[in-house]
């Protein structure tokens, strides 16, 4: 394993994604651990425990995939279903700024992904500056967990073997990603199988509690691993009144005044960012001047 910087021997604190490479095997990997950013995202949401786990796993895999993009852009993932959990959304841009939300019944029992979402689908949207319109992929959910769904999706879309390990609770969301590069079998016919078996020994508490260096040393002690500098991840969902004002203008002055007459104010809740916008009669009048 490549030596750790002696001036910074301790892993960086949570909210980091870190890539690494098995140099003799042509296999790449990445690790992510989200602490404060994850807790900020779910603060005040009162999600049931199974929903916290699902959304945290989605936050982890969204960060891992966005960090590995070859071009700058924003990725949005949506898992929709008709079960007790009807929607999971996670958005991550090239600066690794996350935002996301879930929609579910007040009471959700622990179960597999199909049991929680029912008949569902995964939608991935990629928006980059060079595109005339965002690229979108819409596929049925295949797998009994967030991990299985994205392993299948990535293996099919990138035509290369991919493995994921994800974990989340109310405090931390974390993930480990492995992918065989083209020609990996030629470098070492048993390399991909060996690395998968080693990574498969990881426990959820290790994903959630160990730093990247300690985890890699624990899982792959005999492998030659190059570890790259970590990248920071943050939760970014600021107030955006302009978006709300634009939406209300599109609704029209007559409709807005009708709501005012009935309720005395207009309240708009931003589900993704969990912000509440309240406009009185004076604020609404100013919109249409």
CATH number of the CATH domain containing 272: 3.90.1280.10
pLDDT in tens, 64-74: 999 998 888 89
User: Are both 36 and 120 inside the same structural domain?
Assistant: yes
Average pLDDT value for residue range 271-287: 89
User: Do 206 and 280 lie in a common domain?
Assistant: no
Q: Is residue 1 part of a domain?
A: no
CATH number for 177: 3.55.30.10
Strand, coil or helix: 192: helix
Whether residue 226 is contained in a domain is answered as: yes
Q: What is the pLDDT of residues 203-247, one digit of tens each?
A: 999 999 999 999 999 999 999 999 999 999 999 998 888 888 898
Instruction: Give domain status of residue 41, yes or no.
Output: yes
Q: Are residues 198 and 248 in the same domain?
A: no
Distance CA 6, CA 236 (A): 32
- Facing residues of 98 across strands? 92, 235
Q: Which of 235, 253, 268 is the last residue of a domain?
A: 235
50 within domain boundaries:
yes
Angle between helices 146-158 and 49-67 (to 10 degrees): 20
Is the domain of 151 the same as that of 115?
A: yes
Other Cβ atoms less than 10 A from the Cβ of 98: the count is 26
The predicted pLDDT at position 159 comes to: 84
**Residue 132: pLDDT over 70:** yes
Q: How far apart (Å, rounded) are the C-alpha atoms in residues 86 and 6? A: 48
Does one domain contain both 252 and 165? no
Whether pLDDT at 4 is above 60: no
Residue 111: C-alpha distances to residues 32, 108, 117, 261, 271 (Å):
25, 9, 10, 46, 25
CA distance 211 to 32: 9
Which residues form the domain of 224? Answer: 16-235
Q: What is the spatial distance between Cα 63 and Cα 17, in angstroms, rounded to a whole number?
A: 8
* Distance between CA atoms of residues 55 and 46, nearest Å: 13
Say whether 230 sits in a helix, a strand or coil.
Answer: coil
Compute the 3-state secondary structure of the chain and give helix, strand, coil in percent, each to the nearest 5. Answer: 35, 30, 35
Between 70-74, 82-86, 189-193, 261-265, the lowest mean confidence (pLDDT) is in 70-74
Q: Which residues, other chains included, contact 74 with Cβ-Cβ below 8 Å and sequence gap of 6+?
A: 91, 92, 93, 94, 126, 127, 128
User: Are 81 and 112 spatial neighbours (Cβ–Cβ below 8 Å)?
Assistant: no
Tally of structural domains, the chain: 2
Is there a domain that residue 20 lies in? yes
Contact 85, 107 (CB under 8 A): no
Residue 270 within a domain: yes
């Amino acid at each position: 394993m490549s030596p750790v910087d002696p001036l910074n021997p301790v892993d960086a604190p949570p909210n980091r994604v870190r890539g690494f490479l098995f140099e003799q095997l042509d296999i790449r990997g990445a690790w992510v651990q989200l602490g404060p950013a994850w807790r900020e995202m779910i603060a005040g949401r009162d999600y049931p425990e199974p929903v916290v786990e699902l959304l945290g796993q989605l936050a982890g895999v969204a960060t891992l995939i966005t960090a590995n993009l070859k071009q700058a852009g924003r990725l949005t993932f949506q898992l929709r279903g008709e079960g007790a959990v009807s929607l999971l959304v996670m958005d991550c841009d090239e600066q690794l700024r996350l935002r996301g939300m879930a929609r579910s019944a007040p009471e959700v029992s622990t179960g597999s992904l199909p049991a929680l979402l029912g008949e569902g689908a995964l939608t991935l949207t990629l928006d980059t500056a060079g595109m005339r319109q965002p690229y979108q992929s819409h596929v049925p959910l295949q797998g009994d967990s967030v991990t299985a769904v994205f392993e299948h999706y990535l293996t099919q879309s990138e035509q290369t073997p991919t493995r994921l390990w994800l974990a989340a609770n109310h405090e931390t969301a974390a993930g480990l990603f492995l992918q065989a590069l083209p020609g990996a079998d030629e470098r070492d016919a048993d390399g991909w199988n060996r690395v998968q078996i080693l990574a498969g020994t990881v426990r959820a508490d290790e994903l959630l509690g160990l730093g990247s260096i300690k985890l890699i040393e624990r899982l792959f002690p005999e492998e030659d691993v190059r570890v790259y500098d970590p990248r920071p991840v943050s939760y970014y969902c600021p107030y955006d009144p302009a978006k709300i004002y634009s939406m209300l203008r599109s609704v029209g002055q007559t409709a807005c005044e009708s709501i005012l007459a009935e309720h005395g104010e207009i309240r708009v809740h931003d589900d993704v960012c969990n912000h509440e916008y309240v406009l009185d009669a004076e604020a609404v009048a100013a919109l249409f001047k």
